[in-house]
Structure 1
Amino acid sequence: MREHDFEYDRDSDLPARAKRRRRGRFDDEPAPERRGRLTEEARVRLAAARADALDAEELPEAADRWSTWGDGDQGPLPRPDWVITELGAVDHELGTVKTGKEADVQLVRRSLPGTDRVSLLAAKRYRSNDHRMFHRDAGYLEGRRMRKSREMRAVATRSSFGRNLIAEQWAVAEFAALSRLWTVGAPVPYPVQRNGTELLLEFLGEQDGSAAPRLSQLRPEGAQLRRLWFELVDALHVLASLGLTHGDLSAYNLLVHRDRLVLIDLPQVVDLVANPRGMDYLVRDVRNITTWFTSRGLPTGLADAEELVSELRAEAGMA
């Protein structure tokens, strides 16, 4: 099932980090940083009030806000050179990249006034009170623990406070997953920072703001189809080596950026051991994606769902 089992020539110029894998599992999900029953909306209001009080200097013309780099969790080391960490940087909202049931993605340009340093970011903002329930959240939340019993009760009852917690937990979970996967060389966007329910991620696209296409938008054939398949298999093995599966894998959650496959939308990443339904999610992930590839012409002998599940189980130490 792995690429080296077939006569197939592919590029070998993957970055060195993509060759490193580290084993281990999440011992616990990171908990949102909060005190008492402060809601996310209250935190935003307090942060805005603090910013108004401390920042006497006006924003540069056309900027929407000062950089939020110093206000939340920051991405893993080593950071790419394009990440702007100066607190004097400003953000410009450029428009919507994607709208979804649980989150919207906006294009943000971060720049450092007086220099030519500019980076494009994807701002993924999770909703809370807008939606009473997150899409199939109950199954994904199994095996995730919160540190405070009152927070667990709020989540279970889906109170207003609980829904805010769920929104922040999704952001926390996705940021933690992306940080860990980036570190071991998985093909994921670099997670720049998390502040509350907002994630700032590497924008996968072009400098003119056009986003990389989803796999579902493409019609790869022949050698390209095979290469993308093997890249996906490699990525799934990286996840399995950490005891994880994507949890909602489909051609809609894969980007093709400059001819390379990239995994996106990982808030629901599933721990195969801690989640009682972990293997069910793994099987579903594999079946969904093998069905897509075989429907596009990939030989079933190459995209064998049962064989790939067995490989991933062995990689995860669950054979």
Structure 2
Amino acid sequence: MKIVLNELDVEDLEVQNFIKFKSKKHKLTGKQSVTQLVSRAENSDPNSKFANPDLNALSKMGFLDELISGIKTGKEASVFLGRNSEGLVAVKIYTDLRVRSFKRDASYREGRFIGDARIEKAIKQGSEAGLDAHQILWVQEEFRQMKQLHEHGVNVPKAIAVNGISIIMEFIGDENGNPASRISDLKMEQDEAEEAFRQSVQNLKRIVQSGRVHGDYSTFNILWHNGEAVVIDFPQVMEFKNNPNANTFLERDVRSLCKSFMKQGVNASEAKVLREVQTG
């Protein structure tokens, strides 16, 4: 069963029963290239643009016309440059949970609504059904949190559509397809670094005001584009009301943010930042 969140209200996720997740079309895969994802001549369906079933579904819904190139390849997911009728988009495709490294995520998932006791048990046991459910829920959570954070004024890429383990979102970069750099990959001038830090703290403050914690907040997950700090990567986002670990992760986020900006020459005080984001 495919869950297409762009056809659902965000809050509808709270009442869904996720029972059947496994798609026989999915093969066990790790990192993939554009060549592997684009449909080949021997494909039995002449209407299929992509070898990847998630991308085919998104294409048929009008959210993706083509893949252009790779942007970033990581252990958890790969990001590609794509295009639809509106222009350039970013396409994030998760690596299959069975071959990627980030499996110990119980602290992040604690308190998340699943809606089916059998699926929850299967996830804890790590069965095949549990892994399928675990993976789909993880991807859905990123899509949901992106939409919620955008609505709360956090500078994040706009979430466009999701299917299976693939998400289409706003492309952060120039009109020629050059992606924005992570702050961690830049050597900034002092004034620019100070401004990037100020905006990053402001984004973190808005995340906290929305009742959430990013869970992996540092310059590795903040882009710098046209003088603006743009936050990325949200599957691990947790909510204060549901997760007893949230405050611990907030403190870690502040520590990581300050430590990573100190490498840019910013005098970042953990105590000051934590106080600022907590007081609202």
Give the shorter-chain TM-score range: 0.7 to 0.9
TM-score by length of 1: 0.70
Separation in 2 of the partners of 1:181 and 1:247?
A: 14
Tell whether the 8 Å contact from 1:107 to 1:121 is kept in structure 2 after alignment.
yes
Q: Structure 1 residues 203 and 30, CA, compared in 2 at 3 Å: closer, same or farther?
A: farther
Whether 2:60 is the aligned partner of 1:95: answer: no
How far apart are the structure 2 equivalents of 1:33 and 1:217? 41
- Residue 238 of structure 2: which of 270, 276, 280 is its match? 270
- In the alignment, is residue 206 of structure 1 matched against residue 171 of structure 2? no
Distance 1:185 1:38, change over 3 A: closer
Q: 1:221 to 1:196 in 2, by over 3 A?
A: same
Instruction: Tell me if the contact between 1:66 and 1:91 (Cα under 8 Å) persists in the aligned partners.
Output: no
* Segments of 4+ moved more than 6 angstroms: 26-29
Q: Is the 8 A contact 1:132 1:158 kept in 2?
A: no
Residue aligning to 2:38: none
- What are the Cα deviations for residues 188-215 of structure 1, in whole angstroms up to 9, with x where unaligned? 0010111122110111112322211111
| 1:83-138 C-alpha deviation (Å, 9 max, x unpaired) | xxxx4x76112222122222221221223xxxxxx511111122335327634312
Q: In the aligned structure 1, how far is the partner of 2:15 from the partner of 2:74? A: 24
Aligned to 1:307, the other structure's residue is in SS state helix
Alignment of 1:255-294 (within 5 A): 255-294=223-262
Q: Shift in Å at residue 183 of structure 1?
A: 1.6
Counterparts of 1:182 and 1:28 in 2: how far apart (Å)? 18
90 and 295 in structure 1: CA distance in 2 versus 1, 3 angstrom threshold: closer
Checking the alignment, whether the CA contact within 8 Å between 1:215 and 1:255 is kept in structure 2 is yes
Match of 1:68 among 43, 49, 58: 58
Residues 132 and 189 of structure 1: is their aligned pair in 2 closer, same or farther, counting only changes over 3 Å? Answer: closer
Confirm or deny: 8 A CA contact 2:78 2:94 kept in the other structure: yes
Q: Distance in 2 between matches of 1:141 and 1:296?
A: 32
Cα distance in 2 between the residues matched to 1:32 and 1:261: 34
Secondary structure, counterpart of 1:199 in structure 2? strand
Distance in 1 of aligned mates of 2:154 and 2:91: 21
1:138 aligns with 2:106: yes
Aligned length: 250
* Paired AA for residue 150 in structure 2: W
Map 1:148-297 onto structure 2 (within 5 A).
148-297=116-265
- For residues 172 and 43 of structure 1, do their structure 2 counterparts lie closer, same or farther at Cα, with a shift above 3 Å needed? farther
From the superposition, tell whether residues 28 and 242 of structure 1 become closer, same or farther in structure 2 (CA, over 3 Å).
farther
Q: Go from structure 1 to structure 2 and tell me whether the alpha carbon gap of 1:150 and 1:226 turns closer, same or farther (over 3 Å shift).
A: same
| Cα 1:277/1:150, change in 2 over 3 Å | same
Give the 3-state SS of the residue equivalent to 2:144 in structure 1: helix
Q: Distance in 2 between matches of 1:289 and 1:215?
A: 11
SS in 1 for 2:65: strand
Matched, 1:107 2:81: yes
Larger gyration radius, structure 1 or structure 2: 1
Give the aligned partner of residue 124 of structure 1.
92
- Contact kept? 1:95, 1:106, Cα under 8 Å: yes
SS of corresponding position for 1:134: coil
In 1: Cα distance, 2:12 partner to 2:213 partner: 16
Relative to structure 1, the CA distance from residue 260 to residue 250 in structure 2 (aligned partners, 3 Å threshold; closer, same or farther) is same
- Residues 154 and 98 (structure 1 numbering): CA distance in 2 closer, same or farther, change over 3 Å? same
The 3 A distance-change label for structure 1 pair 108 and 127 is same
Cross-structure match for 1:37: 20
Instruction: Quote the residue 1:312 is aligned against.
Output: 277
8 A Cα contact 2:188 2:264, kept in partner: yes
The question of whether the paired residues in 1 share the 8 Å contact of 2:223 and 2:229 is answered with: yes
- Root-mean-square deviation (CA), in Å? 2.8
Gaps of 5+ in 1: 1-25, 46-56, 72-86, 112-117
Distance change in 2, residues 1:146/1:95 (3 Å):
same
Amino acid at match of 2:58: T
